[in-house]
Structure 1
Amino acid sequence: MKRYGHGLVLGKFYPPHAGHHHLVRTARDRCERLTVLVCAASVESVPLADRVAWMREVHPDVRVVGAVDDIPVDLTDAAVWDAHMEVFTTAVPERVDAVFTSEPYGEELARRFGARSVLVDPDRTLFPVSGTAVRADPVRCWDYLEPPVRAALARRIVVLGAESTGTTTLARALAGHYRRRGGVWARTGYVSEYGREFSEEKLAALRARWPGARWEDVSFTTDEFPLIAETQNAREEAAARAGSPVLFCDTDSFATTVWHERYIGGRNPLVERTADRVTHHLWLLTGHEGVPFEDDGLRDGEALRPWMTERFRAELTRTGRRFIEIAGTREERLRTAVEAVDELLAAGWHFTAPLPEKR
């Protein structure tokens, strides 16, 4: 039997972690209704809308609302408390019967709501993690994060290049390299090129009607490229949710914009908008020089490789994407790529500091 009518959980969730989710689930099990209030300051680097969306996804059976709270935190000042309560009660105007927290301020917060205070694991013995710890070192806290937060924080690396320049080989080698590091890295993901799968299916469908069909008989339409880009994005998102702090992608929706030029000519704005909806952190452009062209039945652009390489280089530069060029032997390419990825990971994750608290 539920003990309370309407419960409240309040926090920054910057970002949400296992301790937060345990608090919410505990409160949900003890209340007829539960509201989770996500409060974010404007100075913080994770948008309020993202935090609300993450909490709603993980807790679909509770009500999650958000509020911007730019009032400095001073637990010793009654006037500051009053100002915060104005924010809280505007977001949650209903009567609150119980306030669930893991913090010492829970008693005062509950008193001001006219509710019971319920402390849940205040010593963090069940989940020894905090928002401060996650912001300081997401990798160390990775197992305390839910899939949508992992997907948002994962560093996404794209390997792209002209036909038969070793993009697949390098992307797979990179994923294997980081998996061998063990621990959280053992789950490092690799996302294959959906455009190739789509091409294989088109050729197979054509051969079902015309058994002698070859790759040069296949034709594309501009309307197919947004589908390719959207599917690539969706597969990346699924892999990032399940993987480690780094994800390796064999091309991406941005590369699809250039492949559209290659097969159709010109640009498709819908593909470009699709590409811009996903954040990637580093592109590795594989060069064609010194790499033999291998015709695997889905390639016919050996003469176009210099043009493709230049188009990728030009578009990466024009759009301000961070990239390096990869050349040399297979071993040299992998070594160069690992050095670049390690440098990216060593730079860490940069969260702006929340408003300071005075206790």
Structure 2
Amino acid sequence: MSGDERFGHGLVLGKFYPPHAGHHHLVRTAQDRCERLTVLVCAASVESVPLADRVAWMREAHPGVDVVGAVDDIPVDLHDPAVWEAHMAIFRSAVGRPVDAVFTSEAYGAELARRFGAREVCVDPDRTLFPVSGTAVRADPVACWEFLGPAVRAALTRRVVVLGAESTGTTTLSRDLAAHYRARGGVWAGTGWVAEYGREYSEEKLAAARAADPAASWSDVTFASREFPVIARRQDEAEERAARLGSPVLFCDTDSFATGIWHERYMGGRNAEVEKTAALTRRDLYLLTDDADVPFEDDGLRDGPQLRPWMTGRFREELTATGRPFLTLRGDRATRLATAVTAVDALLAEGRRFADPLPENR
């Protein structure tokens, strides 16, 4: 078969559990040679990455491709015609139209193509271009990080949030942690940190107040409840962008959960919209900076040291009540960093646990 032969409708089929550079190369190769390409994502119910996520990831990576999904809970047995037909019924229903070519890197590609009445196009079966597999990614995502796209990285990145009352060193610690892990080099060289959007927002409000009255101070700035959902969303958007670009760990100077506590501090109660935003994103560890051992410094955007114990207590209460994993940090800067690194290293050592796919008889 000519290497430049073109087809009307091509098919790429796989679990994409999770998708990696080899998958994307296969899809791009097929797309270049087909008028229309369907990517069929098949997921079993026992697997721990939802089908909807995998479909979304593939659609993002390949916007010009028709990506469809199907639940396939039938174990693979390449030697059983009845099992093959059960799979094919699912495949045909999901694809919905005749297939001219099946693009694959798998040994079963020839039989799959035959059952579709299509040509087989084998792409890099020895994985020389991208030496990676879904099995390898599931076993050790960190070792395969270079082969993962932005959406998958965001899903797998360990997110560590530093939060605390005013002038308790959250920014210092989050920066120190990012610098510590960047210094390890390799995959960790891209470790990032996410700045506190609420501070940027507060600086803008104070600047606006001083534009109207040059003598205005922080005590003249007021907040409305409707502002906090905006702050929470912007904070999480910045976190998501950073998670897509960095290393397997990300450090965040506050998050939308903390924004809910700040709303309580300024407005006297909770905000349902902020709470809803905070529930959308998973964080792996919270580091609470205790107000003890850290002198209060007034930088022009702070209310005073008298509120710090109350804020520390509210953070601790809400972290406990909502079941979020957290560690309270005390001591000087070096002690807090060392304690935090020990906790983060333990988190990273746990790895990511993927449920085994259904058994295969090849």
Question: Which range, TM-score by smaller chain?
Answer: over 0.9
Query: Structure 1 residue 71 and structure 2 residue 56: aligned?
Result: no
State which of 193, 205, 208 in structure 1 corresponds to 2:208.
205
1:338 aligned to 2:341? yes
1:226 paired with 2:214, answer no
Q: Counterpart amino acid of 1:251?
A: T
* Aligned mate of 1:237, from 221, 237, 240: 240
Deviations 1:275-332, CA, capped at 9 Å, x for gaps: 1101110000000012100000000131011100000000000000000000011111
Within 1, Cα distance between the matches of 2:339 and 2:259? 25
Query: For structure 2, which runs of at least 5 residues remain unmatched after alignment?
Result: none
Provide the C-alpha distance between the structure 2 equivalents of 1:279 and 1:231, rounded to a whole number of angstroms.
16
How much has 1:157 moved relative to structure 2?
Answer: 0.2
Could you tell me which residue of structure 1 aligns to residue 56 of structure 2? 53
Alignment match of 1:319 (pick from 319, 322, 337): 322
Q: Indicate if the aligned counterparts of 2:187 and 2:247 stay in contact, CA closer than 8 A.
A: yes
Question: Which of the numbers 109, 112, 118 marks the counterpart of 2:115?
Answer: 112
Kept after mapping to 1: 8 A contact 2:70/2:90: yes
State the identity %: 74
Q: How does 1:205-354 map to 2 (within 5 A)?
A: 205-354=208-357
Which residue identity lines up with residue 67 of structure 1 in the other structure?
A
Q: Using structure 1 for the length normalisation, give the TM-score.
A: 0.99
Q: Give the conservation status (yes or no) of the 8 Å contact 1:98–1:110.
A: yes
Q: Which amino acid aligns with 1:224?
A: E
CA contact (8 A) 1:2 1:29 kept: no
Equivalent position of 1:144 in the other structure: 147
* Equivalenced residues, count: 359
Question: What does residue 13 of structure 1 align with?
Answer: 16
Q: What is the aligned partner in structure 1 of residue 174 from structure 2?
A: 171
Matching residue of 1:100? 103
Letter in 2 for 1:273: K
Q: Give the match for residue 198 of structure 2.
A: 195
Number of the residue aligned with 2:89 = 86
Q: Equivalent residue of 1:10, what SS? A: strand
CA distance in 2 between counterparts of 1:290 and 1:237 reads: 32
Give, in angstroms, the shift of residue 2 of structure 1: 6.0
Structure 1 runs of 4+ off > 2 angstroms?
none
Partner deviation per Cα, 1:197-220 (whole Å, 9 max, x = no partner): 000000001100111000010000
Matched, 1:33 2:36: yes
Aligned mates of 1:197, 1:265 — CA distance in 2: 22
Structure 1, unmatched stretches of 5+, are none
Deviation at 1:357, TM superposition (A): 0.5
Please state whether the residue corresponding to 1:196 is helix, strand or coil.
helix
Tell me, yes or no, if structure 1 residue 42 matches structure 2 residue 48: no
Q: Please report the RMSD computed on the Cα atoms of aligned residues, expressed in angstroms.
A: 0.7
* SS of corresponding position for 2:74: coil
**Offset of 1:347 from its aligned partner?**
0.3
Contact kept? 2:225, 2:271, Cα under 8 Å: yes
Shift of 1:37: 0.1
